[in-house]
Every structure is written in C-alpha cells, then in structure tokens.
Amino acid sequence: MKRITPILLLMFCSSFTQAQHITPKPQKITLNEGPSFTLNNEVIIEYNQNSLKELSILLSGSIKQATKLSLAPIGPNKSEKKKISLVLVKQDQTKDFNKEAYTLEVKKTGVVITSADQAGIFNGISSLMQLIPVSTDGKALEAWDIPAVQISDKPAFKWRGVMLDPARYFMTKEYVLRYLDMMAMHKLNVLHWHLIDDCGWRIEIKKYPKLTEVGAWRGTGKNKHGGFYSQEDIKEIVAYAALRNIEIVPEIEIPAHTLSALAAYPHLGCNNTKFNVPTKHSISPEIYCVGKETTWEFLQNVMDEVVPLFPSKYIHVGGDEARYNRWKKCEHCQKVIKDNGLKNERELQGWATRRIAKYLEPKGKVVIGWEEILACGIERSTGIMTWHKYSTAIEAAKNGHPVVMSPVKHTYIDTPESKLPGEPPAATWTPPVTLSKAYNWDVIPKGLTAEQAKNILGPNTTLWNDRFLHNAKQLADKPGEGTTASEAYMDYLSLPRIAATAEVGWTPKANRDYSDFLKRMGTMYHRYIQKGYNFRLPTPELRVKRLADGKLSFSADSPVYNGELRYTLDGSEPTKESEILDKPVTASSKQSMKIATLIPYAKMRSLTYTYTAKGNKYAKYGAQIGEWKSAMVAGKTPREETFDATGLINKNGTYEITFVYTGGEFGLDVKGLKVVRNDVDLSAENKKVGFAGGSGVSKHIVKIDNYQTGASFKIKANICGDLGSDSNGVVMIKRLK
C-alpha cells in the first residue's frame, strides 16, 4: 500500500496553489511578492459605511465557521490593529459600471475589499473566504495565513441562476436558506423559484386561502405530501438572499401547470370541473380559462400580493407546455379570439401573456417566460428562457428580448452525472449532464452580432423535482436527525455542477479552461465537506494507453486534493484496502480495471468506474443494455429476458437492438422481442428470428412513436441457446434516426 509523499502534500497546501483556487475563476489575480496576512483573534473587520454593517457581521460569522476565530466587526475607526477593510467607493456609474465588480488586496498589513456597491463587496468576501486555508486531511489547521494577492474581478454575465422546484417536491424554508448559502459560495446571483405547478402551489396568497389549504397538498394518509411558504417566510428568504447578492425571481405559471390552483378554485378552468391535486407527473390539458374575466381578477389579485414580496425586476410566468384542448371548445376563450382578431389558441396565449405583462409594467416588473411564449407573439420587453431550441434564443436576442440560457444538455441537473451503476434515480429522458457538459458550453449562441449578444443575460441551471413523483419511494424523506434524504439528494445533484454553471456565468469564455477548473475544484470539495454539503465526488478520469508491446498502461489524477485512487484488476469492487494508483500501472492487453476516488478522513467514496477492455469493440452497435450468460440461457427452450433501455430510448425514432456473441460453445437464438414502457407492452414489436454466434450478430429494429418523458423502457426478448446453454454475449442499442 502506497502513501502520497509529504512533498506532494506540501505542494497542495502551499499558498501559491490556494491563491489560485477560487471558483468561479476571477478575471485577474496577481500573486504579490512578500509575506501573507495572518488571521488571528486580534484582527478586526472594519467597514467605512453603515450600509456595510450586515455584510461585516456576515463575514465575521463565515470566518468563525471556517476557522473558529472571532473577528469583531466595527465601524469606521483609526485603530492600529490589523484589519480586513470593507470599503464602499464612489464610482462613475455612467460608463462600464458593474455593481458586482470588486478589488481584493491582501498584504501582510491587512486585507482590503473595495467596490462601488454592496454586491461587489459581497463578491469580494466570497473570494476572500476561498483564500482562507482549508484542511485537506481532516486535521485542524494551526495557522490561518492568507496569501498575498491582488484581485480585480467582475462577472461576464449579470444573470447566473439556479432554478429550484419546490412545487413538485416541497423544500423547507431551512433548506432554501442553506441552498442560498451554497449559491452565494459560488457567486450565483439569481434564484429562479418555481413556486407553482400541477402538483403543488407553494406561495401563500391571503386573498385565496384555498390555494395553500387545498393546492399545497397532494395524496392522502401517509402518502400526503406538501407544504407552502407563508408571506413571512418569503420575506425572510428574500432578505437572506439579498444580503448574499442573490435576487429571487418567482415563477407564477400562466396558463398551464396550474392544476393545483384549479383544484382549489375550479371556476378558473374552462369547464368548472373539480380536480384533485395530482400525485403523478404528466402534462395536463387542464389550464386557466383566459377567456373569463373572473380568471383575470384572480391573476391580478395574485400578482398584487406577489409583486411587493419580490424586489426582482423579473417575474417568471412559465408559459411552457400549454395544451389548448380546453380553449378550443370554450365559448369564453373563443370569444376573445374572435373579438381580438386572433388566429388561433397560440395567439390567445400571446394575448394573455401580453395582458399580464401590461398589468405588471406599471408596477416596475418585466415578464419572463419559457421559450414557448416567443411563438405566441409577445411584447419586446418580455424575457425568454431558452431550454430546448437554441433558435428561440437567437430569434429573441435578434428581436431585442432579454434572454436567459437554460439548455437541457448543459443545465438540466435533474439528470444524473453519468450512467455508472449506483447513480441515484434521476431524469432519463435526456442523456446525463456530466460535469464536463455543465462546463463546456458557450452562453452566447452562434449567429449573434456583438450588439445582439448583449441581450443574453446569462446561464440558468435547473433542478427539477418531478423525479420525486416518479421515484417517490426511493427519494422520500426518512425520519431522523439532520439532513433529510431528499435534501441530501438535491445537494448531490447540485454539487459540483452548479460550480460549473457559476464559472460559465462569471468567467469570460476565453479565460475558461476545464482542466484548470477541475484542479481548483480539488480544493473546493474540502470546503463542501467543511460545510456539510452532500456532493458527488467525481470518479477518476482513467487514462488507458496501449503500449508498443500491446500491453495497457492505466493512469489517472485524483479529482480531489489529498484524495486516494484505489483500484482492482480482479473485477472486485475497490475498497479502502485496495491498491493505490499513484503512478501508471501496466497490465495485459485484455485487462479490465475498477477504480474509485476516496477521501479517507471524510469516509467518502466515489462511484466505481469500470474500464472493460473488450467493451470497446462493440461500441459501433451503440450502448450496452445488458448481457446474456450461460446461466440464463435455458438450453433450447426460449425464455423471456429483460434488458433495461431506459434513458437510451430517449425520443421517438427507430432503434436497432443488436445481440453480439462474445463466447461459449453455442450461439444464441433470438425468437422475437418487444418494447415495454412503464410495464405496458407497446406495439413496437419485432418478431424477427435471429442468430448471434461466431462473428454473426442478430439485429432487430423497433420503432418508437409514443415516447413519454420520464418513462422506463425495457426490451423483453425471447432467447435460447441454439444447441445448448453455454453461450455468452452482450446486448446493445443504437438509435438509427
């Protein structure tokens, strides 16, 4: 068993490294010659204006949490003591003004954070906290030396957001506050708060008490779930966020995703039908009737209570996934279409969006909605949040709409980070958003001029909670102390991917470098441990090289400082007793390796990454959905075997399923197969009989034309050995078109 050498440890802890380990990466850091600044109980926090008092208390509290040192925050003074100074300065606000910009200087004699606005002072504090050393081995540090640096910094984008979805699964006020701390640590500055959906209404509206008495709860008995935020809760959350430079943009969905409101007040729908708050996720045809004035009275009254609670410029009105079935048959809705010369129901949605935007405009609010509203015809001032089609971002930005970028492929962190065994149940309708995908994208879509690109406000990552409706049993809260299961789950999906979003939004594209980001995260993970966040510890990025003599060489770097990479070559799961990979390991040409990252002091272990030497040659047939082994092939009698294609069947299209023989005395007969969606047979059936043996493969085509978001897809195949049961192989799937 090998240990990391002391020299390497020293390197990890040196001030040079630490100074460069701020995430998101600042625009400019200069390492100053000379000694560092030593934090101790003698140091005071000084602020030059009373408006900074709360921030200086916040800084003092953060330092105490990290170091146990107590630094007194005091107002302007001429003390000779060593200080951390928060300094608000006057600045010409007419040109190139960015309220989030700050400078941070660390000298032996003191630390000075300067900005023209509290927002910038907060960002300086956030950077300073990442200059304070953190233990990477669990042992208490003895000295708190902050490296001498000069930082000049500002964000690339003004909107750096995260969407939370308490509508689908309620998050307590305490967890929202904790999440705001997580965001603030990464200088994320917008919480897009999805407060309303079919399965739950989460904001207290005093004029309509049933919204929360009825609409905030679903299910019965021990399956009853729900909750809501009182207006007092919201005031507390908004103030907590504001001090941390986070603006909260509430999402009040109109007209769809509103069954929770219709359950409380049936007259808001076209047919006055009574509903229950649904316990399952689906896209409901039930939406607000926008043809009735009583609905408008309701919407305006709701907004009258929402507006004073949120100082944000924007109010999100959803607008996505509206089905028009009810509007088509509603005399009120059809009358509005006719009276206003509208062409169809989509234009009616545009009319409704314009109407709510006009209502909010005199109150100083701007409406933003999902990309679907662009095609409905909306005011130019209305913002667009692109999630699916980049073309909507381009069109909107060209036409002068403010645009927020939330592309599924890079920001939907309700997906898992990988397909490795052991990932928690997460969204499968789209491929995993790996940390690399969360990091490597350009917020500005191609095809915009520099002037048009200014309309792109920034990135927004989304943590949807509808998975709690699909996998309620696995994800539900367990009673007990401390962090609940659901909160640990939401932490896990968020970290470290929101760190990637933060850097995408903060650091100009030209200054971003994924490998440099990963290095800095190596320190950040220890800060997460210090704060008790449940993050996903990355698996090692294994490098496999074929040497001249045909042998394989395995090497990898630990994704975390002071982490251990433990591996096995015998197919067993790596444990804390397994060999350490700290230099290249040579193995035979067909050798497989299992490897994991461990942080011993935190008792953390990543998922296992498995390198399978033989796997690569079947990649042309797509992704593996299973294998057959002698044990499951029952001689010559066909029997049904199930292969899980969930997540690999991820849209309508034609799929090819291939059986590839890999070994054994006999080949495999495939006597037809079918696709099963959520345990229901689909018409996608292929009765073709095939044979996989020798170098021959058995290919089967199925057509999926009724794909459903979030559904599981399984392939059930009738298989048997052609002459006996000694047969082995893999089953692969590939989408053809």
Q: Which of 124, 250, 278, 291 binds Zn ion (CB under 5 A)?
A: 291
Distance CA 53, CA 85 (A): 12
Comparing CB distances to Zn ion, the nearer of 324 and 533 is: 324
Q: Which three-class secondary structure string do you get for 616-685?
A: HHHHHHCEEEEEECHHHCCCCCCEEEEEECECCECCCEEEEEEEEEEECCCCEEEEEEEEEECCEEEEEE
Select the span of 174-182, 328-336, 455-463, 565-573 touching Zn ion (CB under 5 A). Answer: 328-336
Distance CA 257, CA 282 (A): 9
Length of the chain counted residue by residue: 737
Give least dist CB 326 to Zn ion, A. Answer: 6
Distance CA 731, CA 656 (A): 11
At 299 the three-state DSSP class reads: helix
What is the torsional sign of CA 312, 313, 317, 320? negative
Give least dist CB 296 to Zn ion, A. Answer: 12
Q: Cis before residue 24, ω within 30 degrees of 0? A: yes
Comparing CB distances to Zn ion, the nearer of 293 and 570 is: 293
Interface mask (CB under 5 A) for Zn ion, residues 244-283, using x and -? --------------------------x-------------
Comparing CB distances to Zn ion, the nearer of 147 and 291 is: 291
Applying CB under 5 A, the site for Zn ion has a residue count of 6
Comparing CB distances to Zn ion, the nearer of 330 and 352 is: 330
Select the span of 26-34, 155-163, 325-333, 665-673 touching Zn ion (CB under 5 A). Answer: 325-333
Q: Give residue 93's identity as a one-letter amino acid code.
A: Q
Q: Give residue 188's identity as a one-letter amino acid code.
A: L
Select the span of 324-332, 449-457, 534-542, 618-626 touching Zn ion (CB under 5 A). Answer: 324-332
Pairing of strands 609-611, 593-599: antiparallel
Question: Which residues lie below 8 Å from residue 311, measured CB to CB, with a gap of 6+?
Answer: 238, 242, 247
Q: Residue 222 CB: number of other CB atoms within 10 A?
A: 6
Give least dist CB 129 to Zn ion, A. Answer: 53
How many Cα atoms sit within 13 Å of 485 on the Cβ side? 13
At 355 the three-state DSSP class reads: helix
Distance CA 606, CA 525 (A): 12
Select the span of 51-59, 288-296, 492-500, 538-546 touching Zn ion (CB under 5 A). Answer: 288-296
Q: Which of 171, 188, 289, 403 binds Zn ion (CB under 5 A)?
A: 289
Comparing CB distances to Zn ion, the nearer of 281 and 292 is: 292
Distance CA 627, CA 731 (A): 5
Select the span of 91-99, 289-297, 578-586, 657-665 touching Zn ion (CB under 5 A). Answer: 289-297
Q: Residue 559 CB: number of other CB atoms within 10 A?
A: 21
Comparing CB distances to Zn ion, the nearer of 271 and 276 is: 271
Q: Does 128 bind Zn ion (CB under 5 A)?
A: no
Q: Tell me which residue of 302, 310, 298, 314 sits closest to 365, measured CA to CA.
A: 314
Comparing CB distances to Zn ion, the nearer of 242 and 352 is: 352
Give least dist CB 331 to Zn ion, A. Answer: 8
Give the tokens for residue 394. Answer: 């381009």
Comparing CB distances to Zn ion, the nearer of 296 and 390 is: 296
Give least dist CB 257 to Zn ion, A. Answer: 17
At 437 the three-state DSSP class reads: helix
Give least dist CB 455 to Zn ion, A. Answer: 34
Comparing CB distances to Zn ion, the nearer of 234 and 333 is: 333
Q: Which of 330, 625, 668, 715 binds Zn ion (CB under 5 A)?
A: 330
Distance CA 639, CA 716 (A): 10
Q: Which residues between 332 and 391 bind Zn ion (CB under 5 A)?
A: 332-333
Q: Residue 406's Cα: distance from chain center in Å?
A: 10
Comparing CB distances to Zn ion, the nearer of 350 and 522 is: 350
Select the span of 180-188, 285-293, 610-618, 646-654 touching Zn ion (CB under 5 A). Answer: 285-293
The label of the residue with tokens 């018409």 reads: 683
Give least dist CB 298 to Zn ion, A. Answer: 13
Comparing CB distances to Zn ion, the nearer of 265 and 691 is: 265
Give least dist CB 264 to Zn ion, A. Answer: 18
Give least dist CB 256 to Zn ion, A. Answer: 13
Q: Which residues bind Zn ion (CB under 5 A)?
A: 270, 289, 291, 330, 332-333
